[in-house]
Structure 1
Amino acid sequence: MSEDIKAKALNIQFLVDYQQGTVVSREVIKKELGTVTFFAFDQGQGLSEHSAPFDAMVQIIDGEAEITISGKKHTVKAGEIIIMPANEPHALQAVNSSYKMILTMIKSE
């Protein structure tokens, strides 16, 4: 975790900024048992289908995301969350707008 964000009240909108034509990420907590990462997806950008060995929670904090889990598309908007189950293929896409999200992954068996 960056020393510049420890023990401070911060506006989550400003922890990661949009950059044209790309996906930006900033890991704010990295521990053996899990991570918390902020992402900013420019419109048209995404993460291709993949899977992870642990459940992951996505919280949209700006815009809206198209999140596909095991072939089913979900539109997730600012203020909403979705759980991506362990070992199920998922993909994330900024279709209609740019969006920002928080990804929380807790590693457990």
Structure 2
Amino acid sequence: MEYPYIKNITHEKVQSLAGLVNAEDGQIVSKTLAQNEAVSVTLFAFAKGEEISTHDSTGDAMVTVLEGTGRFTVDGVEHLVHAGEVLVMPAKKPHAVYAPEAFKWMLTVVFPFK
């Protein structure tokens, strides 16, 4: 495995996760912090009105909203997730993301052990 395990963030420095990603109007910005067979950690910034259409994942996906509010639809059920809140989207369940306002969030996906 290549080092560092966690990338695109300064090590040994206290930082604001929300400050690491910014989206202009009409944009979705992502920054991968870790990616391997077991786990994926990605920061996102969504401009108001942006979305990712329905898809699924082989792993459990945990959303942590850092700023603003996001709308996550999981298996047809809508969830509004506010700053400081988390939502787990189970593996293989269809889900989508929509930004009713600009928001920033972290996605942690834990994949099945092979």
- Scaled by the length of structure 1, the TM-score of the pair is 0.92
Q: Is the counterpart of residue 107 in structure 1 residue 111 in structure 2?
A: yes
Out of 41, 47, 62, the residue aligned to residue 52 of structure 2 is 47
Structure 1 portions without partners, runs of 5+: none
Per the alignment, residue 3 of structure 2 pairs with none
- Identity rate of aligned residues, in percent? 35
Per the alignment, residue 30 of structure 1 pairs with 35
Q: Post-superposition, which runs of at least 4 consecutive aligned residues in structure 1 deviate over 6 A?
A: none
Out of 10, 13, 19, the residue aligned to residue 15 of structure 2 is 10
Counterpart CA distance in 2 for 1:106 and 1:8 is 25
Counterpart CA distance in 2 for 1:32 and 1:71 is 28
Residue 24 of structure 1 aligns to a residue whose secondary structure is strand
Per the alignment, residue 64 of structure 1 pairs with 69
- Scaled by the length of structure 2, the TM-score of the pair is 0.89
**Superposition RMSD in Å:** 1.1
Counterpart CA distance in 2 for 1:15 and 1:32 is 24
Q: Is the counterpart of residue 93 in structure 1 residue 98 in structure 2?
A: yes
Structure 2 portions without partners, runs of 5+: 1-6
Counterpart CA distance in 1 for 2:110 and 2:12 is 22
Alignment length, in residue pairs?
107
Following TM superposition, by how much is the alpha carbon of 1:81 offset from its aligned partner in structure 2, in angstroms? 0.3
Following TM superposition, by how much is the alpha carbon of 1:13 offset from its aligned partner in structure 2, in angstroms? 1.8
Counterpart CA distance in 2 for 1:62 and 1:107 is 26
Counterpart CA distance in 1 for 2:59 and 2:35 is 15
Residue 12 of structure 2 aligns to a residue whose secondary structure is coil
